[in-house]
Chain A
Amino acid sequence: MNILEVQNLKKYYATQKAVDDISFSLAPGSIFGLLGPNGAGKTTLIRMLTGITYPDEGQIVFNGRPFDPVNDILKIGYMPEERGLYKKMKIGDQALYLARLKGLSKLEAMEKVKEWFERFDMQSWWNKKVEDLSKGMSQKLQFVTTVLHEPKLIILDEPFSGLDPVNANLIKDEIFRLAKNGASIIFSTHRMEQVEEICDHIILVNKGQKILDGTVKAVKQQFKENFFRIGFGTATDKLPEANGSYDIIASNNYGVDLILKEGTTPNQVLQLFINEGIQINSFQEKLPSLNDIFIRLVGNTATARQFQNIIA
């Protein structure tokens, strides 16, 4: 049974269709990438999933039952893109407070906070205030407060922004561990290399609509361009006659990038090169990166131009 089923969700504001008929489902233990340019409707979608706003139309099914904003939000952990903590509050108290708001008793909260502080090596921070923490430290604290009530669904909006590689890895490992223990994770980001690394499944939204849905592998296969790279063992300046079977994208003495035409197989091309007497030491299909796919899909829209600037 899926932890989350989103069915034909709609949320219209006076000036725009923020979320326009989006459906998707989320299996337990999966890491799900929610992608899209700025202003595509991701935050609106997330806010409906966290019970902050209500959909105009459509239904959210959480854990097999219609979403109940009062009780089900206790099983959701949400880390918004705009981080927020009480600056003047002690870190230990703050974590306890947020845990108790998620329905933990005082005792449970204390136990969980201690456990997580130990895991992240934060025990000595207990009496510090947030204003004394570095950005990375408060990011870690934010992550801990998001997950310490053991939510079934964890929604992370740009969880790695502002983290150094060591801490980013720490958080990444935690994400994998939480997913292995059965939590489903919705991961919203602009960083495509992170999506490729972490997510099993992605959807892409643009202008409030879902324009892509599938596993990372399937999406890449779907958008592959028959793009191959051949590497030469010895310097070669003479290439075989293509005869319309491929287009050369780039080449030098040690290799060539080419796109195969419809009906041409990689073996035929290799045969051409071998017949030419060229030493080949590598042959590789280049699948498009998610980044390329994104720019292709949303590149012509107004919001996408902004998006390109961000990932550039």
Chain B
Amino acid sequence: MNKTWIVAQREFSSRVKKKTFLLSTILLPLVIFAFYAFMIYFSVQGNDDLNIAVADNANLFNGKLEAKGDVDFTFVKDKDTASLNRQIEKKAFNGYIFIPASYNVLSADTLSIVYGKTIGVISQERIKSAINKQLEQKRLLALNITQSQLDSAQNRAQIEFQSVTGKGKGDKSKFAEAVGFISGFLIYIVLFIYGTMVMRGVMEEKVNRIAEVIISSVKPFQLMMGKITGIGAVGLVQFLIWIVLGIITMTLIPLLMQGGDPAAAQNIPGGAGAMATASQNTSGLAAVVGGINWALLLPCFLFYFLGGYLLYSSLFAAVGSAVNEDPQDAQSLTLPIIMPIIFGIVIMTKAVNNPYSGLSVFGSLFPLTSPIVMMARIAHGIPDGVTVWELILSMVFLIVGFIGTTWLAGKIYRTGILMYGKKPTWKEMWKWAFRKA
């Protein structure tokens, strides 16, 4: 059997069988999900509920003030501020608004809110907007303008963005931007995680001094390619698990929402309530999701995932072979490899908005950045984001690119893996790469 294959099998199974693989595969998305859930929950939740007493002596609100978010209003009959102050001390209310009977709607008199403990900025805004909304109506009435008159005057134009081909309408392009960004970002993460995994694997073999034993049975190039293939397979499996998990959660969440008590769901601020409303718009969402050419995007994602990984992992392998025990050597040597990846992500953030800018076109053709940048363009589809020719050219460049880097890296690797002692300079590595046999 081909030795590259035997090496790849070991690299794959030694990683997949580890407990950390299972943990990181399952826990990582959970941790990320939980992290975002917490962030959203707390940003929506804010502080504890605020109860504001309203002493409406001018009868401005007719006992109606809309509760907003964490702010509740309670109408009280108290005529003086002293008794209200006492109620705050007793913590019956968090604050109160005293509206004197003499309050004039049309004059810009100040209303003050007296509070016990400090009220947060967001809650302050909510209180202000609830009161202003009511006051606005009162003022309009005082000026003899009806709400419907005002509404028709304030009506906004419905403006739709449409590309010349007739596709790429409205929400779709926003969604395409998001999809492009996410897939580009995923490839960026993949290059980092699995690239450094290859590098550490090579360093391990060199530090353990098993490299010499192995390459007395296997060509160094076979060893390197076996390692790259095996770890690439680990990455693919991990991705497949995540995709499957993602699909399961996507299908489970709406089911849970419908099954649960709708009233209870509404009580969770922002979270489930918002999702319930979102699910009413499913048809609109489906249209947006369907607007993306998944049949193009998914195979391209796979291609650029593999192409980018092969291109960079061989470079990481070369660096791993050049360093010795000291991990700090690795840091300085990986810098030139990390730079183009960072450039890629920077160009990608521009390319999601503007797929045809000069920088985007360059970034999506240049093999060191194309795996990241091209994803942002492909999400917009052909020809909205990228022309067929550019896509083909970019793929050819990437294939040529990874054959080139693998060839060079293989030569550096072959020499580096048996070199012990001081860290090689870039000049020396350059010599290893280009000298014959």
Contact = CB atoms under 8 A, between A and B. Distances in A.
B124 interface: no
Identify the interface centre among A47, A70, A80, A87: most chain B CB within 10 Å of its CB.
A80
Given A73-B217, A74-B217, A101-B218, A82 B212 contact: yes
A78 B214 CA distance: 10
Given A84-B209, A86-B210, A51 B6 contact: no
Contact of A97 (B6, B216, B437): B6
Contacts of B211: 84
A98 B213 contact: yes
A80 B206 CA distance: 13
Nearest to A14: B431
Nearest to B226: A101
Contacts of B10: 97
Interface in A79-127: 79-80, 82-89, 97-98, 100-102, 105
Interface string B2-37: 010011001000100000000000000000000000
Q: Quick one: which of A50, A83, A101, A102 has the most chain B CB within 10 A?
A: A101
A70 B217 CA distance: 8
Interface in B192-217: 204-205, 208-217
B3 A101 contact: yes
A76 interface: yes
Interface residues of A, number: 28
B216 A83 contact: no
B210 A50 contact: no
Contacts of A70: 219
B6 A80 contact: no
Contacts of B209: 80, 82-84
Nearest to B3: A101
Nearest to A155: B216
B210 A78 contact: no
A236 to B, nearest CB: 58
Given A78-B213, A85-B210, A101-B218, A54 B437 contact: yes
A211 interface: no
A83 B7 CA distance: 19
Interface string B39-56: 000000000000000000
B14 A88 contact: yes
Contacts of B216: 50-52, 73, 76, 78, 80
B237 interface: no
B212 A100 contact: no
A84 B210 contact: yes
Contact of B217 (A47, A80, A85, A98): A98
10 contacts: A52-B216, A78-B213, A84-B205, A84-B208, A84-B209, A84-B210, A86-B205, A98-B214, A101-B6, A142-B213
Report the 10 A-B pairs with minimum CB-CB distance, sorted nearest first.
A84-B210, A84-B209, A82-B209, A101-B217, A78-B216, A50-B216, A80-B212, A84-B208, A102-B217, A100-B6
Interface of A: 47, 50-52, 54, 70, 73-74, 76, 78-80, 82-89, 97-98, 100-102, 105, 142, 145
